[in-house]
Amino acid sequence: MNAHAPAAQAPHRLTTSAMIASIAEDGQRTAKAPFGHALARLAEERQDIVGLSADLAKYTDMHVFREAHPERFFQMGMAEQVMLGAAAGLAEVGLVPFASTYSVFATRRAYDFLCLDIAEPGLNVNVVGALPGLTTGYGPSHQATEDLAILRGMPGLTIVDPADSVDIEQAVPALAAAPGPTYLRLLRGAVPTVLDEYDYRFELGRAAQLRGGRDVLFISTGLMTTRALAAARDLEADHIDVAVLHVPTIKPLDRETILREATKGRLVVTLENHTLVGGLAESVASCLAFAGAGTSSGAGTSSGAGTRIVPIGLPDEFLAAGALPTLHDRYGLSVKAIKARVRAEL
């Protein structure tokens, strides 16, 4: 065997893990299948809750619900269009469906059905998309890096990007209670449990400040909130004081809180597990620009051009396949990459 044989390099090279790798970091507390358990619990209280999946129950934690309430689970096969159409039909007769598949299929493949069957009539259908952003190393076929961009333009759709298991557990009953259609970016499997350490409750449509800080404001959503919290803690050692504002609801955006927090003269950094096109960064940017923030008060900058935003997110390109830690480092989503970016910007 020569020195270049793969075996010789194996210990140093990460490999693409199973399709859905856990995003938990070493030593992090996790909860197993928080969505499935939350839905099964909710269904104990609400007889109108039903579940559907498109041959991905096992991979979207819907199997927990299916096992608890088999008579209320409808398997639709690998057919996302009819799954969303059928979810609309179930809602039309008064039931409250949660329909799960991968985000790429819910958004790219079945958009017309989500738009016209569910959103246009304003039905209480809750679409649950797994593998949002960069949470799989399988490449563009599975990486829903632009799902928020696709869906933000859909009138009446509530979009939620939860940070951890606590967020998911609390979001599920809130989404069912909301009268209109929703889209939940699902974290599945062993999901980090972080927000129970903070004075936090999920409120639909509300951003929540998780920690205060004088120098930098992180505005984050989804799994990037847990990374933002870790980066903020580490940056204390550099005497950089970082606040974290968690924005679990992408639409409708909590403009009031964002506007108030982003205009206090701190460096504003947005963090999202999504392309920089059409996601949180542009939502925050348009929120500030439409409000004229920074242009007259000079709160954010002295240039008069408005509050500058440092956007951390995925590049506008089709991403590589590989191991998630490698990819998160490469594309700037890792805690290490976040800290380096903040230091460079200050």
Partner 1 sequence: MTPTTSRSAPAQSPNPQENLQENPQKPAPPDDAHTRAARTERIRTLQDSAYRIRRHALDMGEIQGQGYIGQALGVADILAVVYKDVLNYLPDNPEWPKRDRFLLSIGHYAIALYAALAEAGVLDTAELDTYGADGSRLPMSGMASYTPGMEISGGSLGHGLGIATGMALGLRHQGSRAHVYNLLSDGELDEGSTWEAALACAHHGLDNVTAIVDVNALQADGPTRGVLRTEPVTDKWAAFGWHTIRVDGNDIEALVSAFDELRAHRGSPAVLVCDTRIGRGVPLLETRERAHFMRVEPDEWQIARDELAQGHKARGRNPEPRGARAHAPAAPAGSTEAGRSPQSHPHRTGDDA
Interaction site with partner 1 (CB under 8 A)? 50, 70-72, 74, 76-77, 79, 81-82, 84-95, 97, 112-113, 116-117, 120-121
Output 114 or 314, the one with its CB closest to partner 1: 114
Which residues neighbour 307 within 8 Å (Cβ) at sequence distance 6 or greater? 262, 263, 268, 288, 293, 294, 299, 300, 301
> Quick check: 205 and 314 in contact, CB under 8 A?
no
Output 50 or 293, the one with its CB closest to partner 1: 50
CA–CA gap between residue 26 and residue 336 (Å, rounded) = 14
Q: Quote the least distance from Cβ 147 to partner 1, whole Å.
A: 20
Output 42 or 333, the one with its CB closest to partner 1: 42
Q: Quote the least distance from Cβ 71 to partner 1, whole Å.
A: 7
308 burial type by CB count under 10 A (0-12 exposed, 13-18 middle, 19+ buried): middle
Q: Quote the least distance from Cβ 67 to partner 1, whole Å.
A: 14
Q: Quote the least distance from Cβ 45 to partner 1, whole Å.
A: 18
What type of residue sits at position 45? Answer: E
Output 74 or 198, the one with its CB closest to partner 1: 74
Output 11 or 70, the one with its CB closest to partner 1: 70
CA–CA gap between residue 53 and residue 68 (Å, rounded) = 15
Output 85 or 132, the one with its CB closest to partner 1: 85
Q: In 10 A of CB 196, how many CB atoms?
A: 12
Output 80 or 167, the one with its CB closest to partner 1: 80
Q: Quote the least distance from Cβ 63 to partner 1, whole Å.
A: 15
Q: Quote the least distance from Cβ 111 to partner 1, whole Å.
A: 11
Query: The tokens of 39 are what?
Result: 């839905």
Output 39 or 327, the one with its CB closest to partner 1: 39
Q: In 10 A of CB 27, how many CB atoms?
A: 5
User: Element (H or E) spanning 106, and its range?
Assistant: none
Beta bridge partners of 96: 49
Beta strands in 142-221 (DSSP E): 158-160, 182-186, 190-192, 208-211, 216-220
Q: Quote the least distance from Cβ 113 to partner 1, whole Å.
A: 7
CA–CA gap between residue 49 and residue 72 (Å, rounded) = 7
Which residues neighbour 266 within 8 Å (Cβ) at sequence distance 6 or greater? 213, 214, 215, 216, 217, 243
Strands 267-275 vs 242-246: parallel, antiparallel or unpaired? unpaired
> Quick check: 222 and 184 in contact, CB under 8 A?
no
Q: Quote the least distance from Cβ 93 to partner 1, whole Å.
A: 4
Output 87 or 338, the one with its CB closest to partner 1: 87
Q: Quote the least distance from Cβ 46 to partner 1, whole Å.
A: 14
CA–CA gap between residue 75 and residue 78 (Å, rounded) = 9
Which residues neighbour 135 within 8 Å (Cβ) at sequence distance 6 or greater? 20, 21, 23, 143, 187, 223, 273, 324
